[in-house]
Structure 1
Amino acid sequence: MRLDKWLWFARLTKSRSDAQRLCESRHLRLDGRVIDRASALVRTGSVLSFPRHDEVIVVRVEGLSDRRGPYVEARELYSDLSAPTRRGGTAPLTAEYAAV
């Protein structure tokens, strides 16, 4: 599946064009490899990392989808592997990104 499409389906970006821009910005890594095109293929088990605000988001792809569903469904597409934040807690992709 195309990486930009998966990012949008998983609700990690607000729009498909935002996902395309992220992929082409060279700030996103797929299994440690710098990505420079939105058409890169993502598979189950792949690990993605990219900056968001003042933290680095790291997720493992747990599944693929054929549509952009509700947040609860989209959240099942990845596992959050992000490091703990400076405040001592974990950096879950929940409340802040639920409205995305």
Structure 2
Amino acid sequence: MRLDLLLCRLRFAKSRAVAQRWIGEGHIRCNGERVVRIDRPITAGDVLTLPIGRGVRVIAIETLPERRGPAGEAQAHYRVLDA
């Protein structure tokens, strides 16, 4: 699944355009490496580092979502590692 689509479906970004801007500006890391391609494929088991507000959130992708659903459904697809 494309990274921009995943960020939108997991409700970290309000739209794919916002997700694409974050990726283009180099704010997202996948498995410790800065992501520069918007269409970078993401699979279950990948670890993403995201800027959330004034902090940073590290998550592990458990499963890939089929759709952009409610927040509870989205949270079932990842595990927070930095809590």
Q: How big is the shift at 1:50?
A: 2.1
Where does the alignment leave 5 or more consecutive residues of structure 1 unmatched? Answer: 83-89, 91-100
Higher relative contact order (CA 8 A, sep 6+): 2
In structure 2, what residue type is equivalent to 1:10? L
* Cα RMSD for the two superposed structures: 1.1
Aligned to 1:42: 42
Q: Secondary structure at the match of 1:56?
A: strand
Match of 1:52 in 2: 52
Q: What is the percentage of aligned positions where both structures have the same residue? A: 39
State the alpha-carbon separation in 1 of the partners of residues 23 and 74 from structure 2: 19
| TM-score of the pair, normalised by structure 1 | 0.77
Name 1:80's counterpart in structure 2: 80
TM-score w.r.t. structure 2 length?
0.92
Q: Which stretches in structure 2 are left out of the alignment for 5+ residues?
A: none
- CA deviations on 1:41-99 (whole Å, 9 max, x unpaired) are 110010000222221110000110221111111111111112xxxxxxx4xxxxxxxxx
Deviant stretches of 4+, over 4 Å: none
Q: Which letter does structure 2 place at the counterpart of 1:65? A: P
**Greater fraction of residues in strand:** 2
Aligned to 1:97: none
